[in-house]
Amino acid sequence: RTHGRAAVPPWLWVLVRAVALGGVYAGIYELITVETSFGTSVGATLWPASGVTVSVLLLRPRREWPFYLAAIAVADFTMDIVSAGFPTRVAFGLAAANCLEPLLAASLLWRWLRARPDLSRLRDLGLFYVAAAVCGPMLSATVGSVWQWLLDGGAIWPFGGRWYVGDA
């Protein structure tokens, strides 16, 4: 019941949650860049944004995923340029790689379990680990480091290794 007030359309709540996720992602990005970067080289020892994004996808209906992935892409792209100083062409690929990670992990879990994982069950926990800490980070680290290498001449190693370990 709205008690005389207009009901908020469901799509608006999705948009609000997506914008909030983008803000949280950008905040985590800046915090991690400031606190755990390797001096002048790129790479972070810890990347909690990957866990947050996988969790959001797992908790929300699949029809909402494009909004959350778009918010992650915009936040990552912006922070890659503003905070890390990457050229636009490199930031585009890094943002795409960071969207592929939660998408792959959440998609694998839905495919394998046909439901949200129940992390109190050992099987679900193991599959979550494989999807979110092995497969997703492996894909994003590979795509991101190769993209940067191709377009900007950055080193695949140790950049890709740091990316993988930080996300995993």
Q: At residue 12, does pLDDT exceed 80?
A: yes
Band (pLDDT 50/70/90 cuts) for residue 37 is: low
The confidence score (pLDDT) of residue 44 equals 72
Query: Mean pLDDT, the chain, as a whole number?
Result: 91
Distances (CA, A) of 10 to 13, 15, 25, 64: 5, 9, 23, 11
Q: At residue 114, does pLDDT exceed 60?
A: yes
> Would you call 81 exposed, middle or buried from its count of C-beta atoms within 10 A (0-12, 13-18, 19+)?
middle
Question: What is the pTM assigned to this prediction?
Answer: 0.90
